Amino acid sequence: MRIGVPTEIKPAERRVALTPAGVSDLTGRGHEVVVQAGAGLGSHITDEDYTAAGARIEADAQAVWAHADMIVKVKEPLPEEHGHLREDLVLFTYLHLAADQDLTQAILDAGTTAIAYETVQPDTGGLPLLAPMSEIAGRLSVQEGAHHLLSPAGGRGVLLPGVPGVDRAHVTVIGAGAAGTSAAHAAVGMGATVEIYDISLPRLRYLDEIFGGRLQTKMSTPLDIAASVQRSDLVIGSVLIPGSRAPKLVTDEMVAGMRRGSVLVDIAIDQGGCFEGSRPTTHTDPTFAVHDTLYYCVANMPGAAPVTATRALTNATLPYVARIADRGWKDALGADTALGRGLNAAAGRLTNKPVAQAFGMEHIAVAEAVAG
């Protein structure tokens, strides 16, 4: 199979979809890998590194997309890239279609086979291709929140761990999945007072055990979230329903009652955000004001740590990329239910029910798409 790796064009996105080690693995299996010139520079990977691993370098994105049977990316195609989509192409990347009707329609119109990292899900649960980026985003959410709580960044002027004789910052984490747990680890490690909310009592029991009582676990209800938001210096939203738009758990009314200079970080922004006032921002312009608070809603948070994130992403995605390349997408998805759940669209038809529901569209079963 011919596998293409284009340069990411999302603002301040410095990750790349494959490391040279990933390229070496795929070329060793007999596949051809074409990388756009400069695609890895943001992650400190040179064209020479890729060439030494067996890749071919192409000067522009058009040549990479046109040559490939499968495109492997980090972020969803932006409007400038929609013209590259075509019927005989497999696209394997983060898609978050439920938050992007224009991209969904472009994929359907082109007939592209679209497989989303974030909906690959084993029978045992979990999201193995989303987890490494969620872990990075969770840790970054606390770093960014701590920074923006400082007065020069527009915050309340609160130091997250406090000092002897002065209160620590109060941090509320909504959602106890991979991102929320990583955020809680970082916030507890920095000495903040932390509450974490989730709808799963077994998950809360697990967190209570591993943290040894160093944070407060609470069942997620609107009333309790509202009370916690009111007393928080930093609120981190990390709610995820695989393939669906994120529910709005923090309302505008809640935020209106927060103290001036409090900060809210929405990790769920790729899926539409879990705060009522959220809208996507970039690393170059990361925050905006809502009432007297600051919202941080960067849609590609792990892109701030590309050296770490690129390697973590390849570690997770490479076995699945190799499976698709070795067997073709139909055989690979038919033999692996986890990978099958990653299929969002094929031959102009949606196969992801939450995406179809988000836009009032029809969908077909993955099995039907694979058989067809």
Q: Which residues pair with 35 in a beta bridge?
A: 5, 57
| The residue to which tokens 């490939």 are assigned | 68
Task: Tell me how far apart the alpha carbons of residues 75 and 77 are, in angstroms, rounded to a whole number.
Answer: 6
Handedness of CA 174, 177, 179, 184 (dihedral sign): positive
Catalytic status, residue 270: yes
- Kindly name the residue from 25, 198, 270, 363 that is annotated as catalytic: 270
Task: Tell me how far apart the alpha carbons of residues 358 and 355 are, in angstroms, rounded to a whole number.
Answer: 5
| The residue to which tokens 């697990």 are assigned | 206
Catalytic status, residue 84: no
Element (H, E) at 174: strand 170-174
Task: Look up residue 161 and give its amino acid.
Answer: P
Beta pairing, strands 343-346 & 113-116: antiparallel
Residue 297, class by beta-carbon neighbours within 10 Å (0-12 exposed, 13-18 middle, 19+ buried)?
A: buried
Residue 260: other Cβ atoms inside 10 A: 9
Q: How far is residue 66 from each of residues 3, 20, 232, measured CA to CA in Å?
A: 11, 22, 50
- Kindly name the residue from 96, 148, 170, 185 that is annotated as catalytic: 96
Catalytically annotated residues: 96, 270
